[in-house]
Amino acid sequence: MQTLARIVEVKEHQRRAAEWRLARLRQEELAVQEDQRSVIATLNADQPLHGLFVETMARHLRAASEKLDALRRAIELQAAELEGRTSQLKQAERLSRDSTRQHDRAVERKELFEMIDASLARGDASLP
Protein backbone atom coordinates (compact mmCIF):
# COMPACT_ATOMS: atom_id res chain seq x y z
CA MET A 1 0.00 0.00 0.00
CA GLN A 2 2.95 2.31 0.52
CA THR A 3 3.89 1.69 -3.10
CA LEU A 4 0.42 2.74 -4.23
CA ALA A 5 0.59 5.84 -2.05
CA ARG A 6 3.93 6.71 -3.65
CA ILE A 7 2.46 6.17 -7.13
CA VAL A 8 -0.42 8.53 -6.29
CA GLU A 9 2.09 11.08 -5.00
CA VAL A 10 4.16 10.86 -8.19
CA LYS A 11 1.06 11.13 -10.39
CA GLU A 12 -0.05 14.22 -8.46
CA HIS A 13 3.38 15.78 -8.92
CA GLN A 14 3.28 15.03 -12.67
CA ARG A 15 -0.19 16.57 -12.95
CA ARG A 16 0.92 19.72 -11.10
CA ALA A 17 3.99 20.01 -13.35
CA ALA A 18 1.79 19.73 -16.45
CA GLU A 19 -0.54 22.35 -14.96
CA TRP A 20 2.37 24.73 -14.34
CA ARG A 21 3.67 24.27 -17.90
CA LEU A 22 0.22 25.04 -19.27
CA ALA A 23 -0.05 28.17 -17.11
CA ARG A 24 3.39 29.34 -18.28
CA LEU A 25 2.41 28.83 -21.93
CA ARG A 26 -0.80 30.80 -21.38
CA GLN A 27 1.21 33.63 -19.79
CA GLU A 28 3.54 33.65 -22.81
CA GLU A 29 0.49 33.76 -25.08
CA LEU A 30 -0.84 36.82 -23.24
CA ALA A 31 2.57 38.52 -23.46
CA VAL A 32 2.76 37.95 -27.23
CA GLN A 33 -0.80 39.22 -27.66
CA GLU A 34 0.07 42.35 -25.69
CA ASP A 35 3.17 42.82 -27.85
CA GLN A 36 1.00 42.56 -30.97
CA ARG A 37 -1.45 45.12 -29.58
CA SER A 38 1.44 47.46 -28.84
CA VAL A 39 2.84 47.17 -32.38
CA ILE A 40 -0.59 47.66 -33.91
CA ALA A 41 -1.20 50.72 -31.73
CA THR A 42 2.16 52.12 -32.84
CA LEU A 43 1.29 51.48 -36.48
CA ASN A 44 -2.04 53.23 -36.03
CA ALA A 45 -0.50 56.22 -34.26
CA ASP A 46 0.10 59.34 -36.26
CA GLN A 47 3.72 60.10 -35.47
CA PRO A 48 6.47 61.82 -37.42
CA LEU A 49 9.05 59.43 -38.95
CA HIS A 50 6.41 56.75 -38.73
CA GLY A 51 7.00 55.53 -42.25
CA LEU A 52 10.66 54.71 -41.57
CA PHE A 53 9.75 51.86 -39.24
CA VAL A 54 6.67 50.36 -40.87
CA GLU A 55 8.56 47.50 -42.51
CA THR A 56 10.38 46.64 -39.29
CA MET A 57 7.16 46.73 -37.31
CA ALA A 58 5.42 44.58 -39.92
CA ARG A 59 8.21 41.97 -39.62
CA HIS A 60 7.93 42.12 -35.86
CA LEU A 61 4.16 41.70 -36.07
CA ARG A 62 4.53 38.73 -38.44
CA ALA A 63 7.08 37.07 -36.11
CA ALA A 64 4.78 37.64 -33.14
CA SER A 65 1.90 36.11 -35.07
CA GLU A 66 3.98 33.04 -35.91
CA LYS A 67 5.06 32.72 -32.27
CA LEU A 68 1.44 33.04 -31.17
CA ASP A 69 0.42 30.23 -33.54
CA ALA A 70 3.21 28.02 -32.16
CA LEU A 71 2.19 28.84 -28.60
CA ARG A 72 -1.44 27.97 -29.30
CA ARG A 73 -0.40 24.59 -30.71
CA ALA A 74 1.78 24.02 -27.63
CA ILE A 75 -1.11 25.00 -25.37
CA GLU A 76 -3.37 22.46 -27.07
CA LEU A 77 -0.75 19.73 -26.62
CA GLN A 78 -0.11 20.70 -23.02
CA ALA A 79 -3.84 20.78 -22.24
CA ALA A 80 -4.13 17.25 -23.65
CA GLU A 81 -1.16 16.16 -21.54
CA LEU A 82 -2.74 17.71 -18.45
CA GLU A 83 -5.97 15.85 -19.16
CA GLY A 84 -4.03 12.59 -19.48
CA ARG A 85 -2.10 13.23 -16.26
CA THR A 86 -5.35 14.02 -14.44
CA SER A 87 -6.87 10.79 -15.71
CA GLN A 88 -3.81 8.81 -14.60
CA LEU A 89 -3.98 10.43 -11.16
CA LYS A 90 -7.66 9.56 -10.74
CA GLN A 91 -6.97 5.98 -11.80
CA ALA A 92 -4.10 5.67 -9.31
CA GLU A 93 -6.27 7.13 -6.55
CA ARG A 94 -9.05 4.65 -7.33
CA LEU A 95 -6.57 1.78 -7.31
CA SER A 96 -5.13 2.92 -3.98
CA ARG A 97 -8.61 3.32 -2.46
CA ASP A 98 -9.71 -0.12 -3.70
CA SER A 99 -6.53 -1.72 -2.44
CA THR A 100 -6.98 -0.14 1.00
CA ARG A 101 -10.57 -1.36 1.18
CA GLN A 102 -9.53 -4.85 0.15
CA HIS A 103 -6.77 -4.86 2.77
CA ASP A 104 -9.15 -3.62 5.46
CA ARG A 105 -11.68 -6.36 4.57
CA ALA A 106 -8.95 -9.01 4.73
CA VAL A 107 -7.87 -7.77 8.18
CA GLU A 108 -11.49 -7.78 9.41
CA ARG A 109 -12.04 -11.28 8.03
CA LYS A 110 -8.86 -12.53 9.75
CA GLU A 111 -9.93 -10.98 13.05
CA LEU A 112 -13.38 -12.54 12.72
CA PHE A 113 -11.91 -15.98 12.06
CA GLU A 114 -9.57 -15.57 15.03
CA MET A 115 -12.53 -14.66 17.25
CA ILE A 116 -14.49 -17.68 16.02
CA ASP A 117 -11.51 -19.98 16.55
CA ALA A 118 -10.95 -18.59 20.04
CA SER A 119 -14.61 -19.04 20.86
CA LEU A 120 -14.61 -22.62 19.59
CA ALA A 121 -11.44 -23.39 21.50
CA ARG A 122 -13.05 -22.22 24.76
CA GLY A 123 -16.16 -24.18 24.02
CA ASP A 124 -18.42 -21.15 24.19
CA ALA A 125 -20.09 -21.85 20.90
CA SER A 126 -23.43 -23.54 20.92
CA LEU A 127 -23.54 -25.76 17.89
CA PRO A 128 -26.77 -27.40 16.70
> What pLDDT, in 10s, does the model give residues 47-56?
766 667 778 8
Confidence class of residue 71 from pLDDT cuts 50, 70 and 90?
very high
Q: Is the pLDDT of residue 124 over 70?
A: no
CA–CA distance, 60 with 7 (Å, rounded to integer): 46
CATH architecture for segment(s) 2-120: Orthogonal Bundle (1.10)
C-alpha distances out from residue 9 to 20, 90, 102, 106, Å: 17, 11, 20, 25
Report pLDDT for 49: 61
Specify the higher pLDDT residue, 44 or 102.
102
| pTM > 0.85: yes or no | no
pLDDT-derived band at 44 (thresholds 50, 70, 90) equals: confident
Q: Distance from CA of residue 127 to its chain's centroid?
A: 59
